[in-house]
Amino acid sequence: MPRYIKAELAINHTVIYSDDSGKYFRFSGGTWAWRNHNPGNLVPGKISAKHNQIGSTGKFAIFPDYESGHLALLDSLQTNYKNKTIPQLVKKFAPAKDGNNVEVYTEFLREETGVYDNKQVKDFTPEEFDKLWHAIEKMEGSQEGDIIEVFPVIQVHKDSFGIYEYNIKTKGWISKPACLLSTKQGELDLHICISDQGHEYLRARIGSSVNGSLEKLIVKDTKKEKKQKSRGHEAETRSNKEEMDAVY
């Protein structure tokens, strides 16, 4: 079964994962905890790296699966917060500066664990600790969103007006309008831009693992060249016939 080996923040707050078979998948919607396989919304660091972190949104670590993110949360609670009481834990784990309501968060953990005194995390019973991480994951949220496969552009055709056709891996050649639609649906890792004349065009996302510069993917459109040559030949034949008709 393929496994995710790399992940990166993409457009519109989505996360794109690449797996060991060379495929790409976009996680969109839902919560950050779900999109990042990070149920505790942990930041990148030694503990995240220890538990197979494969990317970062810049703020949160991204893990290959829920289990890795879950174990990182347990490790963090047992390592970084073992000497903290619930109020002390919340002030550091979910500070107000990050938009958290510290009082609500603290009260929720107390209600869920049944720990209302100044007991430190290291002294929690196994049952209390189990309730603690469950409560944190519930508070951080893990609402599911959508997962769709993302396809690389492997070749493009371009004329004097710009790129007009795209060769999508496993899908083949599609027109620019079809490519714009696929991009809007999240199947391609491209940016939709607007020209000075108000026309839509596509470019690669900076830093994308899926696609680099589209300009480097330009190839000759042999079918178009053949059609142009054929039309030129037909035009020449018509011209010669017209000249002969004029003579005779």
Overall average pLDDT of the 22-26 stretch: 97
Q: What angle do CA 155, 150, 33 make, to 5 degrees?
A: 150
Looking at the structure, do residues 167 and 73 belong to the same domain, yes or no? Answer: no
> What proportion of the chain, given as a percentage, has pLDDT over 90?
88
Looking at the structure, do residues 162 and 108 belong to the same domain, yes or no? Answer: no
**Domains of the chain: total:** 2
**Confidence check: pLDDT of 248 > 50:** no
Confidence of residue 72 (pLDDT cuts 50, 70, 90): very high
Looking at the structure, do residues 130 and 182 belong to the same domain, yes or no? Answer: no
Looking at the structure, do residues 92 and 8 belong to the same domain, yes or no? Answer: yes
Q: Which domain holds residue 200?
A: 152-217
Instruction: Say if strands 24-28 and 15-19 run parallel, antiparallel, or are unpaired.
Output: antiparallel
Contact 51, 68 (CB under 8 A): yes
Looking at the structure, do residues 159 and 124 belong to the same domain, yes or no? Answer: no
Looking at the structure, do residues 131 and 203 belong to the same domain, yes or no? Answer: no
Looking at the structure, do residues 133 and 176 belong to the same domain, yes or no? Answer: no
Distant-in-sequence contacts of 63-66, Cβ < 8 A, 24+ apart = 63/36, 63/37, 63/38, 64/3, 64/4, 64/5, 64/7, 64/17, 64/37, 65/3, 65/4, 65/37, 66/37, 66/39
Task: Indicate the SS3 state at residue 153.
Answer: strand
Looking at the structure, do residues 30 and 129 belong to the same domain, yes or no? Answer: yes
CATH code assigned at 42: 1.10.8
Looking at the structure, do residues 31 and 112 belong to the same domain, yes or no? Answer: yes
Partnered with residue 153 across adjacent β-strands are 168
Q: What are the residues whose beta carbons fall under 8 Å from the beta carbon of 242, sequence distance 6 or more? A: none
Per-residue pLDDT reduced to its tens digit, 79-89: 999 999 999 99
**Confidence check: pLDDT of 241 > 70:** no
Q: Is residue 146 part of a domain?
A: no
pLDDT at 243: 55
Looking at the structure, do residues 172 and 60 belong to the same domain, yes or no? Answer: no
**Confidence check: pLDDT of 216 > 60:** yes
- The token pair that represents 190 in the structure block: 């491209």
Length of the chain: 248
Looking at the structure, do residues 24 and 136 belong to the same domain, yes or no? Answer: yes
